[in-house]
Amino acid sequence: MSANSFDARSSLQVGDESYEIFKLSAVEGSERLPYSLKVLLENLLRTEDGANITADHIRALGGWDPNAAPSQEIQFTPARVIMQDFTGVPCVVDLATMREAVKELGGDPAKINPLAPAELVIDHSVIADKFGTKDAFTQNVEIEYGRNKERYQFLRWGQTAFDEFKVVPPGTGIVHQVNIEHLARTIMVRGGQAYPDTCVGTDSHTTMVNGLGVLGWGVGGIEAEAAMLGQPVSMLIPRVVGFKLNGQLPAGATATDLVLTITEMLRKHGVVGKFVEFYGAGVSAIPLANRATIGNMSPEFGSTCAIFPIDNETINYLKLTGRDEQQLALVEAYAKEQGLWHDAAKEPVYSEYLELDLATVVPSIAGPKRPQDRVVLAEAAAKFAEALPTYSAEASKPTTVTAPDGSSYQIDNGAVVIASITSCTNTSNPSVMLGAALLAKKAVEKGLQVKPWVKTTLAPGSKVVMGYYEKAGLLPYMEKLGFNLVGYGCVTCIGNSGPLPEEVSAAVNEADLAVVSVLSGNRNFEGRINPDVKMNYLASPPLVVAYALAGNMNVDITRDALGQDADGNDVFLADIWPTEQEVADVVAHSIDQDMFTRDYADVFAGDHRWQSLPVPTGNTFEWDAESTYVRKPPYFEGMAKTPSPVQDIAGARVLAKLGDSVTTDHISPAGNIKAGTPAAQYLTEHGVEKRDFNSYGSRRGNHEVMIRGTFANIRLRNQIAPGTEGGYTRDFTQAEGPVSFIYDASQNYQAAGIPLVVLAGKEYGSGSSRDWAAKGTALLGVKAVIAESYERIHRSNLIGMGVLPLQFPEGQSADSLGLTGEETFSITGVTELNEGRTPKTVKVKAGDVEFDAVVRIDTPGEADYYRNGGILQYVLRSLIG
């Protein structure tokens, strides 16, 4: 019950239904707030308890100063939690372990239960092992179930053991697309109350739902678990960047080109830790699918969210996707009543302003290794040639490949070996998906073929996509070019691209070629897509098809021929590019409400494979000592009812000294498990064959595999082990400090009682919201990270695992201070936390160097987590206290 200090409690009549609401107009200053802050204000009004959330917090938000640096802490209580299986399995593992810990401490295990709806979509486990055939989907799903049976049984147990926890089974769709098409409410109704739908998710692209006017963002799995257990998310009232949109996209430009332009602009402007909100006359010209595409890329430009307000387009999309009439009426009535309805004539107050004329957007791709590195399509071949020397000493290395059927062809640097229509960003967008299929139709009619070395995959975000492909009669053309359905899941974007054909892989590795993937995703970091592929480009689905036809990044697809027709005439991209009208006509005729209603009618039931899985029963999980997928983690072992005092750090050594832009992909175990690594050794010792290693993501429920894969990315460069690439360091427990695996060195340090630190550069921990980036760091024995700057999610995750995030003094770095990583470190002043205060700085002594490091515990809530040794320990003690 809200304390209701502002007398905001009221009612809203919609048709025959009456709902309790908390009126924003009761708070002075509310009408001038940006949309996103109005949503937060309602959240505080409804959850005001006089302790964590007080009238002063509400007044502070009502009186928001757009120009001030964030300093006021508030507690945000999300309406629901959404998860995918890679990050969701560890959440359920932790909840199961917490039940046992509560029991051991004399509490009631049933208290460990989601207090708000928690929904998990299994979308990260399908790998494109099979491709280019009619039965690729069926085969890949069979392989997926074979590999992941233990995990899926565990999730089915969770579905029965926990209240308010639902699982969308494999082969259904991508979490964010399922979220916008079905799970998102826009306005929630619970217990007779109506309020804005808000969510946190265990995947950074949770922000896709911002396109529907739903405030939500990615958090680490650790924070998501706490949110499930009723713990509010501690945050500072943010700065809000207003992004004004004018005009309309020109012919030939797609939603992907728009989002790559916005990504480049916002990354350049600097929006880390800020909210981004779109407004202006151009907003109404942006279809909902394009809004979702823009919202999806929020982590790529670094903002917490990238939100669009509610308007007619929102209502139309909710109607198209099968939401009922009462819900549609409620969303419109509530938004208008609360001042959340978009008014293009009104310019809200923002902290910072940007503007884009949509007419200036041009066809673009991004790469070869970061999503913000936009390349104008007309310059793509030239820019590729410029980037190539970083990846290959020679511009050209023609290499002959002999196919299994005896035919042969040549590949070279720049060969497009993967062309994948994949990931939530674009596969939710009918205009670019149907645009790709129309381009395929024209290409087939001209007699064009995909080059034989290209692995072509189609992984839509929901079954609806295949429904409209079939209704439009375009599927045969996609399949003729090898773009057969491989699965409904993230696939290539998260490194589940599957192996290249053996002969292609062998040729690439023998000649050390710099080959390329082109994908319609949002992530193209080094080492992510496929271990054989050095350079990766993001592109719209139509351009993915075009590059599959061209077969090489050296081809300027805006000027050079993509191939020849049956008469030997050159065929150019302009000859097969569908017009805006053609795309619009097909979209209008091939998509209807029935598709969504039918495909989501029984979304939690699953197919015969899911339903036939044996399900363990019981309040607590029966761990299998032989399992290599799901094991009980050690976080709560020996935990007392009250926390031990915080201690300074003495005698620490450096586990890793890292440069700028180290992403959570570099830190967290991701992608394939490489033979010969500590994780592979562990699996081999436990009787697992190499072919069944599966991916790190699929084994996230086993901490033993994950610790061994932390900092093991094949592209990681640890500066204290120069000349190495991958998970190596120097082990100073031994004379001369020989090079060893990071995991092996960590075990030796921990056995010797030596704490560890990590040194890093700017933007440490950018990228996906990976809880294991923090969990693995903690379990390796790292007590503190000292970086030049942090990306938001990873910094808070470190605190959530009891690791101290510190920052070098402004303008300083490990190199400017002369640190080599061979020093012994001591960190003093941390114990001030025991007195209920958070020190602004602590004293760091490294060999002969001394400096004051900034303590990046940013809120009182984070200080509580750190004092308790982590967020889960804090929550657990709160529940039994």
- How do beta strands 275-279 and 305-307 pair? parallel
Contacts 24+ apart (CB under 8 A), 38-43: 38/338, 38/339, 38/340, 39/196, 39/198, 39/215, 39/340, 40/74, 40/76, 40/215, 40/237, 42/195, 42/196, 42/338, 43/76, 43/77, 43/195, 43/196, 43/198
Beta bridge partners of 300: none
How do the domains of the chain map onto residue ranges? 9-64, 78-234+614-622, 364-591, 649-880
What's the start-to-end Cα distance of the chain, in Å?
A: 21
Half-sphere exposure of 29 (CA within 13 A, CB side): 12
Q: Which residues of 137-154 are buried (b: 16+ CB within 10 A; e: fewer)?
A: beebbebbbebbebbbbb
- Rounded to whole angstroms, the Cα distance separating 441 from 447 reads 10
Just give the CATH number of 78-234+614-622: 3.30.499.10
322 phi/psi in degrees, rounded to 5: 95, 15
Closest C-alpha to 154, from 103, 96, 111? 96
Tell me what pLDDT residue 285 has. Answer: 87
Residue 771: the pLDDT is 82
**How far, in Å, CA of 128 to CA of 125, rounded?**
10
Residue 540 is classified by DSSP as: -
Bridge partners of 76, per DSSP, are 233
Are the C-beta atoms of residues 465 and 427 closer than 8 Å to each other? yes
SS3 715: coil
pLDDT reported for residue 769: 58
What angle in degrees, to the nearest 10, is found between the helix axes of 255-269 and 430-445? 130
Burial of 580 (0-12, 13-18, 19+ CB in 10 A): middle
Residue 512 identity? D
| Residue 178 CA: distances (Å) to CA of 107, 485, 541, 599, 817 | 37, 18, 19, 11, 49
Tokens of 626: 């032989």
Backbone angles phi, psi at 114, to 5 degrees: -60, 135
What is the CA 1 to chain-centroid distance, rounded? 34
Distance CA(330)–CA(457), nearest Å, equals 40
Task: Supply the DSSP string of 104-123, one letter for each residue.
Answer: HTTS-GGG-S-SS-EEEE--
Strand ranges inside 788-840, DSSP E:
804-807, 825-828
- What is the residue type of 196? P
Q: Retrieve residue 679's tokens.
A: 């994780």
Closest CA to 262 of 297, 307, 215: 297
Tokens representing 519?
């994908």
Residue 245: HSE in the Cβ half-sphere, 13 Å Cα cutoff: 25
User: What are the DSSP calls for 53-120, one per residue?
Assistant: S-HHHHHHHHT--TTSPS--EEEE--SEEEEEHHHHHHHHHHHHHHHHHHHHTTS-GGG-S-SS-EEE
Task: Identify the helix (H) or strand (E) that includes residue 326.
Answer: helix 325-337
Burial of 566 (0-12, 13-18, 19+ CB in 10 A): exposed
pLDDT value of residue 620: 86
Contact 777, 658 (CB under 8 A): no
- Those residues whose C-beta lies under 8 Å from the C-beta of residue 616, and which sit 6 or more positions away, are 153, 157, 622
Which residues of the chain have a pLDDT value below 70? 768-769
Write the DSSP symbol of residue 494. Answer: G
- Single out the residue of 50, 54, 21, 51 nearest to residue 38, CA to CA: 21
Q: Which helix or strand (DSSP H or E) is residue 356 part of?
A: strand 352-357
Q: Locate tokens 């992510």: which residue? A: 528
Phi, psi of 608 (to 5 degrees): -60, -30
**Which superfamily does 649-880 belong to?**
Aconitase, domain 4 (3.20.19.10)
824 Cβ contact partners less than 8 Å away, ≥ 6 residues apart: 651, 652, 653, 846, 847
Q: Do 364-591 and 78-234+614-622 fall under one CATH topology?
A: yes
Counting every residue written for the chain, the total comes to: 881
- Cβ–Cβ contacts within 10 Å for residue 675, how many? 12
What's the CATH code, domain 364-591? 3.30.499.10
Q: What angle do CA 317, 319, 321 make, to 5 degrees?
A: 70
Express each pLDDT in 87-125 by its tens digit: 888 888 999 999 999 988 888 888 888 988 999 999 998
> Which tokens in the block code for residue 632?
């009980």
- How far is 454 from 519, CA to CA, in rounded Å? 12
